[in-house]
Amino acid sequence: MEVVILPTPLEVTRHAARTMAGLIGAKPDAVLGLATGASVRGVYAELVRLHREEALSFHHVTTFNLDEYVGIRRDHPGSYHAFMEEHFFRHVDVDRARAHLPAADAADIPAACAQYERDIQAAGGIDLQLLGIGSDGHIGFNEPTSSLASRTRIKTLTSITRADNRAAFGDGPVPLHVITMGIGTILEARRCVLVAFGSSKANAVARMVEGPLTAMVPASALQLHPHATILVDEEAAERLTLQDYYRTVQRNKPSWQRDR
């Protein structure tokens, strides 16, 4: 696990965007795993800027989002379909036919989940999975006690996650159920890049990076991943005991090992 501590949230999100842009530069038809939430808004803002100002094209890219709420329409402002439109898709040249989100409105949810897994396989697997982390340590919507081998499936949200995500639903109810890629699905991505900033994430970040591998902290499964990069600001890093070591690693990283 590579831990990169950066001074500000802006630098965290820019670093993630540059890593994604570097991949697309090397592989224009890359398969991206995408995330939603406040932490990744800045990543999309920077990708949109690179598209507008530096001609970064997503035309040949394929995307798979991590998750979606069950029981709301795709055009509900709280849906992740709506989030992706608002923050990314409508600003860039992504081919909508290759932009996938879980079909949480399907009549047959298990069939839609199995199809999602097949679609990822058919696209050649995910080259880079962008991730945020929930304050309870979830990735995607894999809540604590999710199987570390799980695949795309329906999940029930914890009350902590529903409270954290309340703002997107105004006065309406926050959905109880979601479809999410599983932890096993996420671990198959060839690279994972997780962004976190702010002191509200410090505990989850410390448990993910330095705590035991446990289903109680789904993000700790990234300890098993051969190429996971954790991008954090100073506040989100504040409970890491090996901060000095992570900084030393970054300062002395061979140039050939750096992201483009």
Written as one letter, the residue type at 208 is M
Contact 127, 191 (CB under 8 A): yes
Question: Considering only residues 115-134, where is the footprint of ligand GLP by CB under 6 A?
Answer: 132-134
Give the DSSP per-residue string, 212-241.
---TTSGGGGGGG-TTEEEEEETTTTTT-T
Contact 139, 210 (CB under 8 A): no
Q: Which stretch binds ligand GLP (CB under 6 A): 13-21, 36-44, 96-104, 240-248?
A: 36-44
Distances in Å between the alpha carbon of 177 and those of 121, 139, 149, 186? 25, 15, 20, 19
25 or 116: whose CB is closer to ligand GLP? Answer: 116
CB 133 to ligand GLP: min, Å: 6
Q: 67 catalytic, yes or no?
A: yes
Which residue from 13, 19, 39, 129 is in contact with ligand GLP, where contact means CB under 6 A? 39
Written as one letter, the residue type at 193 is V
- Our finding on whether 165 is near ligand GLP (CB under 6 A) is yes
The C-alpha atoms of residue 205 and residue 238 are separated, in whole angstroms, by 9
152 or 161: whose CB is closer to ligand GLP? Answer: 161
Contact 31, 61 (CB under 8 A): yes
Q: 46 catalytic, yes or no?
A: no
Which residue from 21, 64, 67, 236 is in contact with ligand GLP, where contact means CB under 6 A? 67
48 or 66: whose CB is closer to ligand GLP? Answer: 66
- Catalytically active residues are 67, 136, 138, 143
Give the interface with ligand GLP as residue ranges (CB under 6 A). 35-39, 66-67, 132-134, 140-141, 161, 165
